[in-house]
């Protein structure tokens, strides 16, 4: 990379001199300008490539959710994940980006930049690259909700809440924590809140929204027996879910290192921390489930990898690799017991989204303060806790109100007959496996 940069710099200087019609040697100033130009272009490329990796995570989420649920709802799940990004892109362009990153006098939300109005002909194109990277994050937050509400949600109701999450719920909290990344100035980041890539900003927002949705919807038919017992509803395709986890793991290498929005040496440690956190979460969740159930349970192991990824997201740039392993390991323990806890209190989450993203997102945010390379303190941990609590209060309350409004107007849940038949046929007029379902 060093030699390539030198060659590019020399080439740029030679071309500059040729255009100027002079054989004079390049000056120090022209060298510095050329180096800066190469760096700027590299930043654009890295940011946009990272955005593409995060977009690929939509495929991972779709496959995880489809694999962990029943075959009769696979088309519905693909449609929801498709619409998350399609609708999310438009509403984040129109409203969400301005609320999150527009100029803010209060520190609570932005008031400029709607419809990408900051970019005009001849303006700084960085806003376009930055918007592209941020919109894939917004879509991620909305997609997380889908898994906890799978197999029983009306498609029309889903479209409404998916749009509101991307346009309003996610951007408002995002402005508190990340507003200064562009034109904003959030009150939470002003305190010194640490959440480099979004354990709380993205994942807990999605997780706590999912919790509100699952509570309003209620459990799937047949999930709990009359005597209070839990009846497992198995997913139809675990290899599909496993493929989804691998895709998410790959995508996270854009999610966390890409949050630098700069092509520099810092991304090396972020890559390593991200990978180690995921690996530790996966292995520890496998061990815990093995002890708990007598077998190395695949669903828990897959969610353990995701829990580790979520956990390390906040501190990926400010903890050591050894700390990343500890953070991921604790996330692997938490996700197993959290899934069992929510099942016990009869909150039906088909894919474990609340546990993976909400609970482990909160843990990762706290851990970013505990294991901070620059040292920790009561003040730092207090600020992390303020961020965690404020995220829960804002997200859960607004999402709960939203779901209640949808439920009391157009309806949030399908009928019992539609749920039994499957949402593929009742909501979309077809199914993913016609031969299989026709013979069973």
CB of 272 within 8 A of CB of 266? Answer: no
How buried is 387 (Cβ within 10 angstroms: 0-12 exposed, 13-18 middle, 19+ buried)?
buried
Report pLDDT for 437. 53
Tokens 């034109």: give the residue: 183
Phi-psi region of 79 (alpha: psi -120 to 50; beta: other; left: phi over 0): alpha
Report pLDDT for 30. 87
Q: Quick one: CA dihedral 359, 362, 368, 371, positive or negative?
A: negative
d(CA 144, CA 57): 11
d(CA 308, CA 67): 20
d(CA 393, CA 212): 11
3-state percent breakdown (helix, strand, coil) of the chain, nearest 5: 75, 0, 25
Half-sphere exposure for 48 (CA within 13 Å, toward CB): 11
Structure tokens that stand for 215 in this block: 């509570």
Give bridge partners of residue 153 from the DSSP assignment.
413
d(CA 113, CA 97): 7
Report pLDDT for 120. 60
- Angle CA 401–303–376, to nearest 5: 80
Report pLDDT for 434. 84
CB of 235 within 8 A of CB of 241? Answer: yes
Set out the domains of the chain in order of their start, with CATH numbers.
40-427 (1.10.3430.10)
d(CA 247, CA 64): 10
d(CA 161, CA 159): 6
Please provide the size of the chain in residues: 440
Structure tokens that stand for 330 in this block: 């604790």
CB of 132 within 8 A of CB of 52? Answer: no
Other residues' Cβ atoms within 10 Å of the Cβ of residue 24: 8
Report pLDDT for 264. 97
Other residues' Cβ atoms within 10 Å of the Cβ of residue 22: 9
Report pLDDT for 166. 98
Q: Which residues, including other chains, have CB under 8 Å from residue 337's CB and lie 6 or more apart? A: 288
In the chain (440 residues long), the average pLDDT of successive 10-residue segments reads 47 46 58 92 98 98 98 97 97 97 95 85 84 98 97 97 98 98 96 98 98 98 92 96 98 98 98 98 98 97 98 98 98 98 97 98 98 97 98 98 98 98 96 68
Structure tokens that stand for 398 in this block: 């607004």
Tokens 């474990």: give the residue: 352
d(CA 208, CA 202): 10
Q: Which residues, including other chains, have CB under 8 Å from residue 100's CB and lie 6 or more apart? A: 109, 110, 134, 170, 171, 172, 174, 175, 178, 179, 184
Report pLDDT for 5. 47
């Amino acid at each position: 990379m060093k030699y390539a940069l030198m060659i590019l710099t020399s080439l740029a200087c030679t071309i500059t001199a040729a255009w100027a019609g002079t054989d004079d040697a390049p000056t120090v100033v022209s060298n510095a300008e050329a180096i800066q130009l190469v760096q700027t272009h590299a930043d654009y490329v890295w940011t946009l490539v990272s955005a593409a990796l995060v977009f690929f995570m939509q495929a991972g989420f779709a496959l995880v959710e489809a694999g962990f649920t029943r075959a009769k709802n696979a088309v519905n799940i693909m449609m929801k994940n498709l619409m998350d990004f399609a609708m999310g892109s438009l509403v984040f362009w129109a409203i969400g980006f301005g609320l999150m990153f527009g100029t803010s006098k209060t520190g609570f939300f932005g008031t400029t930049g709607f419809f990408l109005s900051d970019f005009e002909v001849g303006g700084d194109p960085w806003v376009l690259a930055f918007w592209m990277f941020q919109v894939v994050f917004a879509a991620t937050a909305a997609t997380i909700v889908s898994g906890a509400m799978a197999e029983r949600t009306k498609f029309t109701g889903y479209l409404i809440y998916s749009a509101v999450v991307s346009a309003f719920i996610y951007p408002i909290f995002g402005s508190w924590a990340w507003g200064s990344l562009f034109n904003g100035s959030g009150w939470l980041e002003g305190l010194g809140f640490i959440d480099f890539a979004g354990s709380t900003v993205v994942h807990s927002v999605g997780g706590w929204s999912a919790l509100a949705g699952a509570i309003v919807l209620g459990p799937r038919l047949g999930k709990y027996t009359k005597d209070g017992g839990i009846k497992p509803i198995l997913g139809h395709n675990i290899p599909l879910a496993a493929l989804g986890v691998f895709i998410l793991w790959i995508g996270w290498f854009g999610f966390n290192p890409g949050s630098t929005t700069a092509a520099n040496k810092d991304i090396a440690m972020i890559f390593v921390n991200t990978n180690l956190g995921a690996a530790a979460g996966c292995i520890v969740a496998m061990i815990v489930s093995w002890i708990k159930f007598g077998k190395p349970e695949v669903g828990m192991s897959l969610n353990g990898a995701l829990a580790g990824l979520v956990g390390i997201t906040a501190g990926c740039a400010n903890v050591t690799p050894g700390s990343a392993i500890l953070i991921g390991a604790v996330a692997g323990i938490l996700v197993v017991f959290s899934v069992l806890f929510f099942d016990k209190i009869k909150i039906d989450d088909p894919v474990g989204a609340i546990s993976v993203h909400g609970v482990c997102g909160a843990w990762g945010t706290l851990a970013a303060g505990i294991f901070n390379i620059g040292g920790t303190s009561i003040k730092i941990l207090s600020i992390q806790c303020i961020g965690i609590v404020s995220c829960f209060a804002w997200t859960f309350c607004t999402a709960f109100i939203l779901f209640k409004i949808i439920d009391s107007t157009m309806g949030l849940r399908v009928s019992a007959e539609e749920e039994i038949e499957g949402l593929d046929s009742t909501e979309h007029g077809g199914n993913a496996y016609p031969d299989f379902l026709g013979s069973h």
